[in-house]
Chains A and B, each alone.
Chain A
Amino acid sequence: MRLFVSEGAPGSLPVLAAARRAQGRAELLISTVGPEECVVPFLTQPKVPVLQLDNGNYLFSTSAICRYFFLLSGWEQDDLTNQWLEWEATELQPALSAALYYLVVQGKKGEDVLGPVRRALTHIDHSLSRRSCPFLAGETESLADIVLWGALYPLLQDPAYLPEELGALHSWFQTVSSQEPCQRAAETVLKQQGVLALRPYLQKQPQPSSLQGRAVSNEPEEEELATLSEEEIAMAVTAWEKGLGNLPPLRPPQNPVYSRLRQWNTLYLCGTDEYGTATETKAMEEGLTPQEICDKYHAIHADIYRWFNISFDIFGRTTTPQQTKITQDIFQRLFSRGFVLQDTVEQLRCEQCARFLADRFVEGVCPFCGYEEARGDQCDKCGKLINATELKKPQCKVCRSCPVVKSSQHLFLDLPKLEKRLEEWLENTLPGSDWTPNARFIIRSWLRDGLKPRCITRDLKWGTPVPLEGFEDKVFYVWFDATIGYLSITANYTDQWERWWKNPEQVSLYQFMAKDNVPFHGLVFPCSALGAEDNYTLVSHLIATEYLNYEDGKFSKSRGVGVFGDMAQDTGIPADIWRFYLLYIRPEGQDSAFSWTDMLLKNNSELLNNLGNFINRAGMFVSKFFGGYVPEMVLTSDDQRLLAHVTLELQHYHQLLEKVRIRDALRSILTISRHGNQYIQVNEPWKRIKGSEADRQRAGTVTGLAVNIAALLSVMLQPYMPTVSATIQAQLQLPPPACGILLTNFLCTLPAGHLIGTVSPLFQKLENDQIESLRQRFGGGQLEESLELKAKVSSKPAVGETVTATGPQQIQVLMDEVTKQGNIVRELKAQKADKNQVAAEVAKLLDLKKQLALAEGKPLETPKGKKKK
């Protein structure tokens, strides 16, 4: 083994003293290296002494090296030694390195040097005298003595820093220093120059972190109140008293509801993108036409958003004449400007179904990661985009036969030709914008790899027709026109749509999505729009989230794991609670996970005990003690501080929401209410109201200020929990002008004499068993009823090998019955028959299918589950 030391490195002292222990047991080579040499390959910072072991591993901790030498000599580890070494590393070293830094590098003397270590020295002294042992860990000198001696020697060898009154420390230090190995180590390292021998080495070291003090932790403790300057307090108080409040500076905000609170002209829209293969497949599965499927699911989606209280100005869809018009216009412009290429494409064709199979009609093994259920356009597992022809072992999704490669004419968006414009646009857009880092990263990596022409047509019927001769039987690829949906939906909302979409100077466009949609919004559509040369408004801020997991795994529709939009309302948990929790864990910057237990915890602690408790108490005090009228407030300096803290937090909230940090801004709300709770707790208005005149006045001030904070919170909550917000505002009878505006300062919106309404609790406790039953319900395989939707319409005869106990004849009978019953159900649905009647027939169908599955010896699972090994 080889020991690396450096001139003047204090760590050499204990290591050399301990090395004696290992003598004769292992061959020890000693090399001297420069103080800035990196010996250990895996450490970024230089570190000496270091011991390279014979197996190639490194010991870079001084204590560990000493320990190793002792272990080689047959010594056994014990608790007391461990405790001393841990103390040395965590307590003594930080203090000591500060003292040595003052002494050696800064040339300070006396108390300046001794001050930082005095406590530690006293601790050693007390331990020694209390146990009346000559050594730290017992009757004989051992590892702890060597390590601590080595650490202390540079300082204590100067009697000025060995306080007389610490007698036990004194005699221990003398005893250990007089040991021969220690004497020799001291001579080798300090070379009779005393502590100055360490100077060349210590000068090259960074300043000890213990000196950097509080600067080390750059994130203040959440609950610790920020230090306020007099000025900040004065400003907050003036604003409160004079009613000064500005709308925050002119900078377009993003969260639409927040944006409205800031009085910006906001258009908030979303919609269902309805064209494409997915729809055709689903229609086939459910035995409906694509249009019927879209109508059905659009309604379902719209209902979900309505239930969640998402306040879209319009929730539209892409299957509209406006969509066709705008898409074809953009295409014509691209085509006439030479940004569209024509090429022959090798494509998979299913001979059995007699048609080209695009995208999701093909499944197979992913060519990149080997995932077995990759779709024809994208692999669900590795997320990469796939050309259907590259799939290994392709299968027609409808009939499961193997498709063949045939050629077909297609149109391509010439992205390489548009790349330069895109880059110019990005250079102007990205700096200073709020594009999330993941969105920037994804776009950058696409550009780095170089853009390739992108096919924008498909051999399908369900889509926007291609307005070009020879392409009458084709439609646009869904991702070419889905993003155009935003434009057409606006056009369906207002005939002034071009003032939003062809107005980049005045409109800021914020788009929200999960990161898998970034390429289409941040790259493909901007290229189309730039190539069309029609002054389109392009995305100014692309806000992409990471993924949300479910409990410990992934959401999976096919396995029925997780809660999906339409089921949230069946849980009995109000929409606002869902909104709160989902935003609380919004995957900003990193993946996050939905957890039932955590939801219960956050509801019961943050909403019930913190926010709800505060707002309810504030209101109750007004009702109970002051007959419902907001009392007079005479602010003391404590109140002024609170005012300033709330103002600061409010401004923080503004800053965060301007940067689209929705999750973090929610924390500001909770922090304010925590301040409020503490304020009430400390001032005890319920006691003071029974006291003297002065006490009663104090109770009034505290109550008045608290209820005004509650009013402020009601506005801040609006983007997060609109129903709760409205409830609070109704309870407090907040004057309408104050309800929908959020200013930079905290103002007195409920002046003395204002009459509030009836106050009642805002939140309900979530109970353990309630949550436990929900967890089980959504834990997987719960979607019995939705299996009915998934059951395949085409009932191909089962492959022979799966037939077990039952004869083929019986299976055939069952199959026929399934087909018959399936038709009955479909007819009833088509006639829009009574729900109960349909349900009864569906139950029969399910039962028949179950029997059939049993007869065929198949497990009762979803079609997807079967393929998994």
Chain B
Amino acid sequence: VKGTNTALRASARKLLVILEVVVSFECEGRSETPRSSVVNGKQQIPVLQTNNGPSLTGLTTIAAHLVKQANKEYLLGSTAEEKAIVQQWLEYRVTRVDGHSSKDDIRALLKDLNSYLEDKVYLTGYNFTLADILLYYGLHRFIVDLTVQEKEKYLNVSRWFCHIQHYPGIRQHLSSVVFIKNRLYTNSH
């Protein structure tokens, strides 16, 4: 991530660039070559070298910084409530989603998220925010591996995930996850 800031500032309006940076880090660190992300059993942490100050460390910190640089502050939430909720889910992303990868942890996580999203379009409710973007990237590696039946079980997560991946410019080069619109396992409810 180092050294990208000049380019960023030049085209600070582009959300795309941010996403590219964030996603490319994520892919570099994760899906393509999972090994490189692991240093002493921990996930590698991104560092952004800014031109006018000290470097910034941490995925959500950098993402929030880039969003501001791009004048897309609405992605961090507009009211105090929304801002706090966005940060809460960003924290959730780096602690819960990145922290665990056992099958049981993921199932518990998806269950919670599924019940949370039951009455929501986005994580904050009605507004698309950085929390949706980063949680989408973070969950992608798990969602990809879900069976059709599991996708149906976590229906609200699937709906939200499918919605986010089709949000213009978000998916980048992550694979598009196929969701089947009609229920296959109708007996399960």
Q: Using Cβ atoms and an 8 Å threshold, which residues of chain B touch A390?
A: none
Residue among A59, A217, A224 making CB contact with B101, cutoff 8 Å: A217
Chain B hits for A224, CB < 8 A:
35
Measured in the bound complex, the distance between the Cα atoms of B28 and A650 in whole Å is: 30
Encoded as 1 (CB less than 8 Å from any B CB) or 0, chain A from 195 to 237 comes to: 0000000000000010000101111011110000000000000
Enumerate chain A residues within 8 angstroms of B148, measured Cβ to Cβ: 546-547, 590-591
Per the bound structure, the CA–CA distance linking A516 and B113 in Å amounts to 31
Chain B neighbourhood of A93, CB < 8 A: 95
B184: chain A residues within 8 A (beta carbon): 382-383
Segment with Cβ contacts to A, from B2-10, B16-24, B52-60: B52-60
Max chain B CB contacts within 10 Å: which of A55, A68, A381, A438? A68
The CA-CA distance from A87 to B56 in the complex, in Å, is 11
Q: Counting CB contacts under 8 A, is A634 at the interface?
A: no
Contact assessment for B41 and A61 in the assembled complex, using a CB-CB cutoff below 8 Å: no
Q: Which residues of B contact A221 (CB under 8 A)?
A: 34-35, 38
User: Would you call B1 an interface residue if the criterion is a C-beta within 8 Å of the partner chain's C-beta atoms?
Assistant: no
Contact of A549 with B178 at beta-carbon distance under 8 Å, contacts A222-B34, A438-B147 already known:
yes
Within 8 A of A (CB), among B78-101: 80-81, 83-85, 87-88, 90-92, 94-95, 99-101
* Binding-face segment, A38-46, A165-173, A274-282, A817-825: A38-46
Contact digits for A58-75, partner B, Cβ 8 Å, 1 yes 0 no: 011101110110011000
Residues of chain A within 8 A of B112, CB atoms compared? 42-44
Nearest opposing residue in chain B for A55, CB measure: B81
Q: Chain A nearest CB: distance from B123 CB in Å? A: 10
Closest B residue by C-beta to A131: B54
Known: A43-B112, A79-B65, A86-B94. A65 touches B149 (CB 8 A): no
Report if A59-B58 is in contact (Cβ < 8 Å); known contacts: A216-B102, A445-B185.
no
What's the nearest-Cβ distance from chain B to residue A445, in Å?
4
Asked if A57 CB lies within 8 Å of chain B CBs, one says: yes
Complex contacts, A71 vs chain B, CB 8 Å: 80, 83-84
Contact: A90 with B94, CB < 8 Å? yes
Contacts of A593 in B (CB 8 A): 175, 178
The answer for the CA separation of A817 and B90 in the assembled complex, in Å, is: 69
User: A235 to nearest B CB, angstroms?
Assistant: 28
Shortest distance between the CB of A659 and any CB in chain B (Å): 17
Q: Is A86 within 8 A of B115, CB to CB?
A: no
Q: Does B51 contact A (CB under 8 A)?
A: no
Q: Interface 1/0s, chain A 79-120, versus B by CB < 8 A? A: 100110111011001000000000000000000000000000
List the A side residues contacting B100 at CB < 8 Å.
209, 216
- Contacts A79-B61, A86-B94 given; does A209 touch B99 at CB 8 Å: yes
User: In the complex, what distance in Å separates the CA atom of A209 from the CA atom of B148?
Assistant: 30
B170 to chain A, nearest CB (A): 15
Say if the beta carbon of B31 comes within 8 Å of chain A: no
Say if the beta carbon of B167 comes within 8 Å of chain A: no
Q: How large is the interface on A (under 10, 10 to 19, 20 to 34, 35 or more residues)?
A: 35 or more
A214 vs B41: C-alpha distance in the bound complex, in angstroms?
8
Any chain A CB within 8 A of the CB of B159? no
Measured in the bound complex, the distance between the Cα atoms of B187 and A449 in whole Å is: 8
The reply to whether A42 and B115 form a contact with Cβ atoms under 8 Å apart is: yes
Residues from chain B with Cβ under 8 Å of A67 in the complex: 83-84, 87
A77 touches B146 (CB 8 A): no
Complex interface: chain A residues within 8 A of B108 (CB) = 44-45
Given A222-B34, A222-B35, A82 and B61 contact (CB-CB distance below 8 Å) = yes
Residues of the A chain whose Cβ atoms lie less than 8 Å from the Cβ of B145: 590
Interface residues of B in 125-171 (CB under 8 A from A): 125, 145-149
B94 and A89 within 8 A (CB): yes
Question: Inter-chain contact count A-B, CB under 8 Å?
Answer: 140
> Considering the chains assembled together, what is the distance between the CA atoms of A483 and B92 in angstroms?
51
In contact, A369 and B182 (Cβ under 8 angstroms): yes
B59 nearest CB across to chain A (Å): 8
> Is the C-beta of A735 less than 8 angstroms from some C-beta in chain B?
no
A605 to B102, CA, bound (A): 28
- Flag whether B70 is at the interface (Cβ < 8 A): no
Q: CB of B76 within 8 A of chain A?
A: yes
B85 and A57 form a contact (CB under 8 A) = yes
- Interface flag for A448 (CB, 8 Å): yes
Docked CA distance A77–B103 (Å) = 35
Docked pose: A552 CA to B85 CA in angstroms: 33
With a CB–CB cut-off of 8 A, which chain B residues contact A218?
Answer: 102-103
Of residues 362 through 386 on chain A, the ones whose CB sits less than 8 Å from some CB of chain B are: 369, 381-383
- The yes or no answer to B111 lying at the interface (CB within 8 A) is yes
Q: Once bound together, how far apart are the Cα atoms of A438 and B94, in whole Å? A: 33
Cα distance, A593 to B65, chains bound together (Å): 36
Complex contact B57–A77 (CB within 8 A): no
A53 at the interface (CB under 8 A from B): yes
Binary per-residue interface labels of chain B (25-67) against chain A in the complex, 1 for a CB within 8 Å, 0 otherwise: 0000000001100100100010000000000111111001100
Task: State whether A64 and B91 are in contact (beta carbons under 8 Å apart), knowing that A72-B80, A221-B35, A438-B147 are contacts in the complex.
Answer: yes
A61: chain B residues within 8 A (beta carbon): 87-88, 91-92
Chain B residues whose CB sits within 8 angstroms of the CB of A217 once the complex forms: 41, 101-102
A44-B108, A87-B57 known; A77 and B102 CB under 8 Å?
A: no
In the complex, the answer to whether B147 meets A589 with C-beta atoms within 8 Å is yes
Residue-by-residue, is A744-782 near B (CB-CB < 8 Å gives 1, otherwise 0)?
000000000000000000000000000000000000000
- Minimum CB–CB distance from B58 to chain A (whole Å) comes to 4
Q: Is the CB of A79 within 8 A of B95?
A: no
Contacts of B103 in A (CB 8 A): 218
Q: A116–B156 Cα gap in the complex (Å)?
A: 39
Closest partner residue, chain A, to B85 (CB atom): A57
User: What distance in Å separates the Cβ of B178 from its nearest Cβ neighbour in chain A?
Assistant: 5
Question: Who on chain A is nearest to B48 by CB?
Answer: A79
Measured CA separation A93–B94 after assembly (Å): 12
Instruction: Indicate the member of A68, A90, A209 with the most B CB atoms within 10 Å.
Output: A90
8 Å CB contact of A85 from B34, B80, B91, B146: B91
A591–B149 CA distance with the chains assembled, in angstroms: 10
In the complex, 24 of the A-B residue pairs with CB atoms within 8 angstroms, ordered by the A residue number, are A57-B125, A60-B88, A61-B92, A63-B88, A64-B85, A68-B80, A68-B81, A71-B84, A79-B61, A83-B56, A89-B95, A90-B95, A216-B102, A217-B102, A218-B103, A223-B35, A381-B182, A382-B184, A441-B185, A445-B187, A449-B187, A546-B148, A552-B178, A590-B147
Q: A42-B118, A216-B100, A449-B187 are in contact. List 5 more A-B contacts (CB 8 A).
A: A63-B88, A85-B91, A86-B60, A87-B57, A593-B178
Per CB-CB distance, the 9 closest pairs between chain A and chain B, nearest first, are A64-B88, A68-B84, A71-B80, A86-B58, A42-B116, A445-B187, A42-B115, A382-B182, A83-B61
